[in-house]
Structure 1
Amino acid sequence: MGFEVADSNNEWHNILQTCRNSSMEVDITRVYICSNVSAIWVERNTRIFQKKHRPPQLVMVRILEDMKLYIQRVVKDIPDSTSVRVLLQNLGIDAYYHAKEPIYYQWRKPDPDYVKLNTDGSLTPSDQGFGGIARKEDGTVHFAYMGSNSKRSILQQELLMRG
Structure 2
Amino acid sequence: MDLVPKLGFCATVHYIWWERNRRLFENKVRTHDQIIEAIRLDVAIKCAAFPISAVHSPRNQFLADNWGIRVDWKVITQKTCAWFRPPTHMAVLHCDGSLTADRASYGGIIRDDAGVAIMAYAGKGDINSVLSMELFAILKGVTFCIQRNLLRVSIRSDSKLAVDILNGAMDCPWSMQILMDRIATLLQQLQRKEIKHVWRELNQPADFIAAMDTGDGEAIFNPLDFPQDLVELVKNDSDGKVFLRTLSH
Q: TM-score, normalised by structure 1?
A: 0.48
Name the structure where strand makes up a greater proportion of residues: 2
Q: TM-score, normalised by structure 2?
A: 0.34
| Higher RCO (CA 8 Å, separation ≥ 6 residues) | 2
Structure (1 or 2) with the larger CA radius of gyration: 2
